[in-house]
Amino acid sequence: MSFVSLPIVVAGLGTGALYATSALALSITYRVARVLNLAQGSVALLAATVAARLDGLPRPVSISVALAAAALAGLGLELSTRSADPLARLTAVTGWLLVLSGVLGFGVFIDAIPLYALGHGTVRIGGTAIGYDTALLIMLAIVVPVALERWLATTRRGALVTAVADAPESAAALGLDVLGVRRSVWVLSQVAVGLVGVLAAPTQGLEPITALVLLSGGLAAALIGGIDRLAGPVAVGFALGVAGAVLGGQVAPAFVDALIVSVVIVALAARRAVGGGLAEARV
Question: Does residue 117 sit within a domain?
Answer: yes
Q: Between β-strands 128-131 and 122-125, what pairing exists: parallel, antiparallel or unpaired? A: antiparallel
Give the pLDDT confidence of 141-173 residue by residue, as tens digits. Answer: 999 999 998 998 899 888 888 888 877 788 778
Q: Where are the beta strands (DSSP E) in the chain?
A: 122-125, 128-131
Q: Rounded to whole angstroms, what are the CA distances from 220 to 119, 141, 226, 233? A: 31, 16, 10, 8
Residue 61 has pLDDT above 70, yes or no: yes
Q: Is the distance from CB of 54 to CB of 62 less than 8 angstroms? A: yes
Q: Is the distance from CB of 135 to CB of 146 less than 8 angstroms? A: no
Residue 276 has pLDDT above 60, yes or no: no
Question: Does residue 1 sit within a domain?
Answer: no
How many structural domains are present in the chain? 1
In this prediction, residue 274 has a pLDDT band, given cuts at 50, 70 and 90, of low
Q: For position 249, what pLDDT does the model report?
A: 60
Give the pLDDT confidence of 29-59 residue by residue, as tens digits. Answer: 998 888 889 999 999 999 999 999 998 899 9
Give the pLDDT confidence of 187-234 residue by residue, as tens digits. Answer: 999 999 999 999 999 888 888 778 887 888 888 889 888 888 888 899
Q: Find the domain containing 109 and state its range.
A: 6-275
What is the average per-residue pLDDT within 89-110? 84
- Per the prediction, the chain carries an average pLDDT of 84
Question: Does residue 282 sit within a domain?
Answer: no
Nearest Cα residue to 137 out of 153, 116, 157, 162: 116
Q: What is the CATH number of the domain that holds 33?
A: 1.10.3470
In this prediction, residue 280 has a pLDDT band, given cuts at 50, 70 and 90, of very low
Give Cβ neighbours of residue 3 (< 8 Å, ≥ 6 apart). 246, 249, 250
Question: Does residue 283 sit within a domain?
Answer: no
Question: Does residue 251 sit within a domain?
Answer: yes
Percent of the chain with pLDDT over 90: 37
pTM: 0.86
Q: For position 193, what pLDDT does the model report?
A: 95
Residue 248 has pLDDT above 70, yes or no: no
